[in-house]
Amino acid sequence: MSDSSSKPHNPDQAPAEKSDEQDVTFVETALLLGGKSEEEATKTGAIDRADDEVELLFADQYQTHNSPVHKAVWDRNFPNEAFQISLPEADAQMEKVFAKSMEVVASHQKNGTHYTKERKVTTELFDDLGAAGYWGLLVEKKYGGQEVPFQIFSRFLTRMATLNPTIAGLGSVHGCIGAVDPLMTFGNEEQKQRFLPLLASGERLSGFALTEPGAGSDLTAMQTVAELDGDDYLVTGEKLFITNAILGRVVGLVCKIEGKSSVLIVQLPDEESDQFRIPQYGLYALKHSYNNGLVFNKFRVPKENLLHIDKGDGLTIAYHGLNRGRVALCANAAGTIRLMLANTIPWARYRETYGLSIDQRELVRRRLGMMAAYITACDAMTEWCGGILDQGYRGEMECIIAKVFGSEVQKEVAIELFMKTHGGRSFLHGHLFGDNVHEFLAPCIYEGEGEMLSMAFLKSLIKKHGKDFYEPIGKALQSAGIKQPNPLNPSHLIALRHAAMPYVKWRVGESLSWLGKAEFQNIPSSLKDHVEFAAEQLQHGRFDVDNLMRKFQLALADRQCAMASISSQVQDQVVMLVTCLFAAKTGNEQQIAAAAVLAQHLKNRITGHRPDGKYFRAITKLGESVLDDSSNLVAGIEPEEIMMPYK
């Protein structure tokens, strides 16, 4: 099998052509019409334009407006096939690399050689993983890699996370958001031949240098520049919070060249100098990896290291790899929650209150059942999103859902389920929670903070609808000098008669037509109602979204809370549907029960209903089944010893 995740478009169809109308983005136009300053509109438009340029890398049928989630909301016929879950198997060679990589990590952990005295991953472990083929999993075979499809790669990250979440995370950093994806997707043949074999072997591990002290979510504030000087670029600037930022690494560096965002593949030197240094700082999260700053002062980089892109700029390149990193975060969450579950079960059996072990208590069984439900949902989103990327979709909206859901439930499990069950022992040195609390929480801001991403999700959902119907109305209002349209004012109606007609026809047509019903086969009876509810809610979501747009119109960009709220609702509906279909595909009774619990939990959140007795019986029964047999969820995980035993 080939890794189509490295291909930006379907090889059988050329990417979409850019039109002149795309020079000014919909978001930029809306902000200007909404009374925003030209500076704010221009900066926001730059980000939106980068998003548009990423779209153009993909054939039309794989762009966001034809993605599963977008079609589920806006199309009259529900896209059943787009939500079907496939579970491809790894071939023998892939499994060999997977097994060897796991063996390497397990051996180092057993011998205590996995971390240095400073508790950082050792060079020996990095090298042994390279020999096993771990760092080349996503690299094409002709460059020395394994060419693993992204769905199978993501599934393996979950396995690795049950052994060592840091190593799983570094696999994602290197292969998804590091230098591998930019080179695979945008590099020329000479650049690929020069760098990819080194990256595949692990001789040179990679990272991606984007964030700066004053540029996080606002990437237009980036200050790092590169000026051409003969055959080299002279790079000057500072980067911050860069994983794998140590001497000798390879980084994809986002900088400005002649005012345009660009990406240089930079080989970091083997020692610091006046031209390059690595500031170090105390960072609670990522404590076992090397996360540092990078400071360049007229640092020389060969001009042939510049990644060229026909349409777009450096932000386009940066955005391309982020979706893979977002799915990988969800995969890592699936493994990390398994670790917490595996360490909760023995404690629940050991700890007694009032003469009874707490594994007999309803609240504890509810917590175990919730962990199982969240693991199943993270598995489902990982498999589905990985498959979407392998099919050639951009997957922007789908991967945002996976990232937001995975990071948020990992946080919830850590605080509400794992910590509270373990009580005061959670904060002991050496306890899984006490030693890793920041690792459990930090993914909420990796690859985009959750609520910011939720607003980006909604922007992607409304963009085509807004451009088709609302932008012409806004321009007509501006042309007529009307700030607040009044439907009772004849002059306003005359001014809008042409611009508003397409929207009126759409709204009336939607109100009078029946929505297409989703039809899925072989769905267990316990999941059938949940599947139908989620699909129906997604179809009706077009009215909720349109009502939000109609209510706030050009001021919508300032209604961040409302945007995040409705975005979260749509995301919950997608997770609900995908989890049920995934569990049905596996046929595993425990996963089916977990999916039913997860679906009811999300349904209660969507509808605002309080949990009832039926739900509590289902979740505690699921927790009981986990106590009876957890092999499907935590097989092979060795729980840590109970700290401060009292028996």
Q: Are 208 and 321 in contact (CB under 8 A)?
A: yes
Q: Is 180 left (phi over 0), alpha (psi -120 to 50) or beta?
A: alpha
pLDDT band at 19 (very low <50, low <70, confident <90, very high): very low
Query: Per the structure block, which two tokens stand in for 148?
Result: 């693993």
Confidence at residue 7, expressed as pLDDT on a 0 to 100 scale: 45
Residue with tokens 């060969």: 302
pLDDT in tens, 243-289: 999 999 999 999 999 998 999 999 999 999 999 999 999 889 989 99
Predicted TM-score (pTM) of the model is 0.92
Neighbouring-strand partners of residue 252: 208, 265
Mean pLDDT of 212-237: 90
Q: Strand, helix or coil at 504?
A: helix
Residue 129 has pLDDT above 70, yes or no: yes
pLDDT at 28 over 70: no
Q: Looking at this protein, which amino acid is placed at residue 224?
A: T
Secondary-structure breakdown of the chain: helix, strand, coil percentages, each rounded to the nearest 5: 60, 10, 30
Nearest 10 degrees: CA dihedral of 107, 109, 112, 118? 140
Secondary structure (H, E, C), 505-555? HHHHHHHHCCCCCCCCCCCCHHHHHHHHHHHHHHHHHHHHHHHHHHHHHHH
Residue 393, pLDDT > 90, answer yes
Asked if pLDDT for residue 22 goes beyond 60, the answer is: no
Q: Which residues contact 110 (CB under 8 A, 6 or more apart)?
A: none
Q: By C-alpha distance, which of 7, 324, 12, 321 is closest to 151?
A: 324
DSSP states of 128-155 as a string?
A: HHHHHTGGGTTS-GGGTS----HHHHHH
Q: Among 328, 323, 551, which residue's Cα sits nearest to residue 457?
A: 323
Query: 10 pLDDT band (50/70/90 cuts)?
Result: very low
| Tokens encoding 492 | 């306003």
Q: Is-contact 284 438, C-beta < 8 A?
A: yes
Question: What tokens does 164 get?
Answer: 């060592």
User: What would the DSSP string read from start to end of 576-611?
Assistant: HHHHHHHHHHH--HHHHHHHHHHHHHHHHHHHTPPP
Which is higher by pLDDT, 25 or 428? 428
Burial status of residue 464 (CB atoms within 10 A of its CB: 0-12, 13-18, 19 or more): middle
pLDDT value at position 187? 95
Mean pLDDT of 376-405: 97
| Confidence grade of residue 18 (pLDDT, cut at 50, 70, 90) | very low
DSSP state of 302: E
Model confidence pLDDT, tens digit, residues 282-330: 889 989 999 999 999 999 999 999 999 877 788 888 888 889 999 999 9
Mean pLDDT for all residues in the chain? 91
* Distance in Å from the first CA to the final CA of the chain: 53
Matching residue, tokens 């039809």: 519
Q: Is 451 helix (H, G, I), strand (E, B) or coil?
A: helix
- Cα–Cα dist 517/388, whole Å: 22
Phi and psi angles of residue 24, each rounded to the nearest 5 degrees, phi first = -110, 120
Q: Where are the alpha helices (DSSP H) in 415-524?
A: 420-422, 432-441, 450-465, 471-480, 490-496, 501-512
Three-state SS at 486: coil
- Give the CA diameter of the chain: 84
For residue 17, pLDDT over 60 is answered with no
- Kindly tell me if the per-residue pLDDT of 121 is higher than 90: yes
Q: Is the pLDDT of residue 5 over 50?
A: no
Q: How far apart are alpha carbons 390 and 395 in whole angstroms?
A: 10
Amino acid at position 200, single letter: A
Q: How many CB atoms lie within 10 A of CB 160?
A: 25
Distance in angstroms (rounded) separating the CA atoms of residues 536 and 531: 9
Rounded distance, CA 265 to CA 187, Å?
9
Q: Which of 307, 296, 297, 213 has its CA nearest to residue 260? A: 307
**Predicted confidence (pLDDT) at residue 3 exceeds the cutoff of 50:** no
pLDDT at 167: 97
User: Could you tell me which residue, 54 or 626, shows the higher pLDDT?
Assistant: 626
Please name which of 229, 254, 233, 234 lies closest in space to residue 242, comparing C-alpha atoms.
254
Nearest to 314 by CA among 368, 370, 255: 255
Amino acid 427: pLDDT: 96
Predicted local confidence at residue 493, as pLDDT: 87
Rounded to an integer, the average pLDDT of 554-575 is 92
Q: Write the CA distances from 472 to 140, 226, 498, integer angstroms.
A: 46, 40, 9
Per-residue pLDDT tens for 429-478? 999 999 999 999 999 999 989 999 999 999 999 999 999 998 898 888 88
pLDDT band at 104 (very low <50, low <70, confident <90, very high): very high
Domains of the chain: 207-307 (2.40.110.10)
* Cβ within 8 Å of residue 116, ≥6 positions away: 122
Indicate the SS3 state at residue 638: coil
Lowest mean pLDDT among 195-204, 222-231, 511-520: 511-520
pLDDT beyond 90 at 597 = yes
In one-letter notation, the amino acid at residue 83 is F
Contacts 24+ apart (CB under 8 A), 355-360: 358/421, 359/627
- Of 493 and 426, more confident: 426
More confident residue, 307 or 35: 307
pLDDT in tens, 521-552: 999 999 999 999 999 999 999 999 999 998 88
pLDDT at 361 over 70: yes
Q: Give residue 21's pLDDT.
A: 42
Residue 390 has pLDDT above 80, yes or no: yes
